């Protein structure tokens, strides 16, 4: 088995999985549909391209810095509706995470992960963290992110903490693991981005000891 680790860090990010109409939500960590979409952008796959190889990867997230849940109120004018006419004004409430840092792990086929690792270093299209306005504050690509022969349960806890100030390192961090027996169901398993089709996947949440600092070694 092989694992690819990604750094998901930025001033703002948003990972909505059940947004409806004028309320745009965000999860507390990256969604699988959002991460697979980010990989597709790096690889240069258009919206209608097959994604089964990427969607089949198992995902886990380590919340190194939880961030702050924030809310914006938006007003837009001259909005084009699905019926071809325009609305003079449209308001919406949008949630996002500020100052959050996550380590995302993808586990699966070595050749697929090798391709993604190379593409993240030199992405075909710009990468963003859930919404096009939210660009990464640091590279998503990690030089040592491709972990050959590793499993998520080994690679994710062992990788050095992504924070900048050792004094802010928590005693433990939250982990969200894709698990068929998990207690929580999330509608973020992508089937097709062209038709915005998603299935449900199950996850479990645990807490792991504080990751090592970079100078302590992985």
Q: Which residue in the block uniquely carries the two structure tokens 């190379």? A: 118
Give the right CATH number for 2-20+27-66+99-216 from 2.60.40.10, 3.30.70.20, 3.90.45.10, 3.30.70.2660: 3.30.70.2660
Contact residues for 208 (Cβ-Cβ < 8 A; gap 6+): 62, 156, 157, 172, 173, 175
Report the percentage of the chain scoring pLDDT > 90.
Answer: 72
Structure tokens at 130: 């859930």
Q: Which two tokens stand for residue 40?
A: 């597709």
Q: Is the pLDDT of residue 88 over 90?
A: no
Confidence (pLDDT) at 217 = 47
Look at 198 and 81; give whichever has higher pLDDT.
Answer: 198
First to last CA, the chain: 19
Angle at the Cα of 210 (from 157 to 176), degrees rounded to 5?
Answer: 50
**Is residue 218 scored above 60 in pLDDT?**
no
Residue 190, pLDDT > 80, answer yes
The chain-wide mean pLDDT, for the chain, equals 90
What's the pTM? 0.89
What was the pLDDT predicted at 81?
67
């Amino acid at each position: 088995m092989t694992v690819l680790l990604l750094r998901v860090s930025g001033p703002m990010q948003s990972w909505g999985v059940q947004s409806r109409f004028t309320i745009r939500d965000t999860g507390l960590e990256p969604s699988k549909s959002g991460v697979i979409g980010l990989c597709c952008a790096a690889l240069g796959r258009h919206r209608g391209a097959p994604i089964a190889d990427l969607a089949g990867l198992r995902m886990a997230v380590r919340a190194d810095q939880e961030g702050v849940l924030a809310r914006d109120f938006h007003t837009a004018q001259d909005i084009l509706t699905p019926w071809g006419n325009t609305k003079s004004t449209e308001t919406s409430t949008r949630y996002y995470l500020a100052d959050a840092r996550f380590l995302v792990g993808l586990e699966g086929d070595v050749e697929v992960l090798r391709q993604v690792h190379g593409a993240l270093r030199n992405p075909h299209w710009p990468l963003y963290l859930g919404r096009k306005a939210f660009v990464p504050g640091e590279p998503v690509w990690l030089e040592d992110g491709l972990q050959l022969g590793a499993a998520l349960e080994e690679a994710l806890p062992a990788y050095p903490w992504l924070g900048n100030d050792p004094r802010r390192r928590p005693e433990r961090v939250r982990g969200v693991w894709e698990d068929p027996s998990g207690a929580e169901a999330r509608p973020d398993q992508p089937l097709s981005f062209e038709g915005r089709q998603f299935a449900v996947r199950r996850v479990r949440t645990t807490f792991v000891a504080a990751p090592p600092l970079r100078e302590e070694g992985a």
